[in-house]
Amino acid sequence: MRTLQRGLQPLYTPFLHPKHSTRISLSPATANPAWTRFFHASASNRALDLAYNLHDSKGRSKGPPIIILHGLFGSKTNNRSVSNAFSRILSRPVYAIDLRNHGCSPHDKTHNYTALAEDVEHFLRKHNLHDATLIGHSMGAKTIMTMALRDPECCDNIVAVDNAPVDAALASDFPRFIEGMRKVEEAKPMSQKQADQILEPYARELAVRQFLLTNLIRPEPSEPLRFRIPVRILGDSLDNMADFPFTDPDQARFSKRSLFIRGTRSHYVADETLPIIGRFFPRFELVDVEAGHWVISENPDAFVKTVVQFLQDKD
């Protein structure tokens, strides 16, 4: 596929430095549950009701639904413009979701890909959504891959943006971001400028700080700012975000169409991971878009064109 290219400056920079594992088979993966049980949380996890925005061109979009998931520390508002574009171009309703512990969705101490997947499965059942396209960036990409491998009948196809079904080591910078956000909360800042000054020693790049600080809210006019995301829970879950719950492609496979989009300046989907992607997702297509890790914000035109072409292609 050919894509448009735009030289936009990234809104924020990657937080993870992947060290892709080339292991294919370790321990047996979780068996695929039957469709009748697909949306039920396991005994160890409680599915949460997720906040969302519906983009349906004022009710004119009537096709199969599209579900779009953000990355770590993001929210449904990150995907507002591309969601509107998909709804308008494809005449399909688009549900932009806040994953657990993000945006306006509930908080829970359990934050791993199984729990994230179960929440979205519950969302599909609650809203009676079938034959959906699942789109996810980074953390959202691993979430939709988990869903597809848990039960291929949950969706019609997937679009995974700049992540792969492998384990990836966290960058040493990442705990510093968490520490900085905790320092902000402890200081109880009254202004965005004060919060930025506190965070600066822990996140030197302005774009990174601006992105992290989008999560600041003021509960009441006279109260200090605080993060709407549970910083401590997410900090304790960093290792979970590096993992992937499936390790054996012989135990779980998604044989429907899948699109993997990677940024040309990103290292999240290294060439050595492609054989593993092919074993988990044997019908996958790969498209490189001129961007870093934050493909959607850095090059939205190319991203939208690539996804639209994939979804308009027929078998």
Q: In this structure, which amino acid lies at residue 5?
A: Q
Closest by alpha carbon to 104, among 63, 142, 67, 74? 74
- Residue 293 bears catalytic tag: yes
Number of H helices, E strands in the chain: 11, 9
Residue 67 β-bridge partners: 95, 134
To 5 degrees, how large is the angle CA 144–CA 148–CA 150?
110
Of the residues 75, 138, 266, 297, only one is catalytic, namely 138
Q: How far apart are CA 117 and CA 150, in angstroms?
A: 9
Q: How far apart are CA 146 and CA 117, in angstroms?
A: 6
Containing 83, the helix (H) or strand (E) segment is helix 80-90
Q: How far apart are CA 14 and CA 239, in angstroms?
A: 16
Which tokens sit at 258?
Answer: 């899948």
Residue 262 β-bridge partners: 288
Alpha helix segments (H runs only) across 93-237: 113-126, 139-150, 173-187, 192-199, 206-213, 231-236
Containing 135, the helix (H) or strand (E) segment is strand 133-137
Of the residues 20, 70, 111, 293, only one is catalytic, namely 293
The answer to whether 80 and 88 have CB atoms below 8 angstroms apart is no
SS3 187: helix
Question: Any idea of the CA torsion for 110, 115, 119, 124, to the nearest 10 degrees?
Answer: 180
Q: If you compute the radius of gyration of the chain from its CA atoms, what whole number of angstroms results?
A: 19
Instruction: State the DSSP code for 105.
Output: S
Residues belonging to the active site: 138, 293
